[in-house]
Amino acid sequence: MSSPTHELDQIPLPPPVAEPLPVVPVNPPSYQISSDEYLNALEFGDKTCSLIVAIVSVTGVKRINSSKGMFEVGSAKFKSLEGTFYQLASWRQHANLAPTLFKAGFIYQIDFVEKKSCGVYSDLRQGYEFNVYPSSVVCKIDEIPEIQPDIIPATIENLDSGQTYSFEAFVALPPILMNNLYIGAVVDGEHKIRIQLTNISTPITKYSRYRWIGTYFRGTFDCTDYAEVPGRLNPNDKRLLNTRSPSKHAHG
C-alpha cells in the first residue's frame, strides 16, 4: 500500500543554487628577463600602429584572459598581440625587488589600436578590475617634448645612417636594469632590428603612493650601432646580414 501524498510534496522545489566556479589562475611561462628579452618590450615602427608595453597589476588573474583579447583604457582601445605573459616575479633576482612587489603582475604586450589620449589609469572596469601602468614608449625622435606623466606613442622611421638621435622614455623597469637597453625597429614593414641605447642619463624613478611604477630617462642612440633580432629575421634575406648600416632599410 502506497503512502498518502502530502501537500508539501506537491510544491516544486526551487532549482539548486549553482556554486560559483573557482577562479583558475593563469599560469604564464616563467622567463628570465634579460636585455634580449627586454627587446620584446620595445618594438616600434610598425606602419599601422605604435606598440607599447604595460604593467598590469592584477587583482584577479583570470581577468586578463578576455575572449576577444581587447580592452579599453579611457578613450584608448587596446588589443593583445600575443597570449604571452611575463612574470614580474622573475625580476627579483635582477633588481632585488621586494617579495610583495608586483607579486600579481605581468608584463603584457598590447597593441595601441586607436591613437587617442592615454596615460596612467587605474581601476579599469571592463567586466573586471585591474590597474594598467604605461611603459616603454619612445617619443618621436625628431621632436622631444617635455617629460609628462602621460605616455607618448611614437614610431621610429626615416633613420639616417651615422646619425645620433635623442629620445626620452618612461619605462616600467627599475634603474638597475637600464645598463644594457635596446630599442627595436621595424624595417621594410617586417624585419626587426635592435639598436642599443647609449648615453642614458641618470634615471628619475617615479613612485605612486609609495609604490614604484617606473623610471623616466633620456638618452641617445646611434643608428649605426644595431644588431639583428635573433629568430625574427628572414634568414634568406641577406640585406640585413653582415652589415652595419641600416640606412637602406630603416625608412618607412
DSSP annotation of 22: P
Distance, CA of 220 to CA of 230 (rounded, Å)? 23
Q: What percent of the chain has a predicted confidence (pLDDT) above 70?
A: 0
Residue 150, SS3 per DSSP: coil
- Give pLDDT, residue 166: 54
| Rounded distance between C-alpha atoms, residue 205 and residue 211, angstroms | 11
Q: Which three three-digit cell numbers place residue 169? A: 622614455
Judged by phi (left if over 0) then psi (alpha if -120 to 50, else beta), residue 214 lies in left
Banded model confidence at residue 218, pLDDT cuts 50, 70, 90: low
Q: What is the mean pLDDT of the chain?
A: 37
Comparing 13 with 98, the larger pLDDT belongs to 13
Mean pLDDT of 44-55: 28
Report angle CA 18, 20, 25 to the nearest 5 degrees.
Answer: 150
Per-residue pLDDT band at 188 (split at 50, 70, 90):
very low
Q: Predicted confidence band at 133 (pLDDT cuts at 50, 70, 90)?
A: very low
Q: Are the C-beta atoms of 135 and 52 separated by less than 8 Å?
A: yes
User: How far is Cα 139 from Cα 210, in angstroms, rounded to an integer?
Assistant: 27
208 has pLDDT over 50? no
Q: For the chain, what are the domain ranges?
A: 35-240
Among candidate residues 131, 213, 209, the one with its CA nearest the CA of residue 173: 213
Task: Say if residue 3's pLDDT is above 50.
Answer: yes
Cell of 220: 641617445
Of 209 and 33, the structure prediction assigns the larger pLDDT to: 209
Distances (CA, A) of 198 to 26, 86, 223, 251: 37, 26, 11, 22
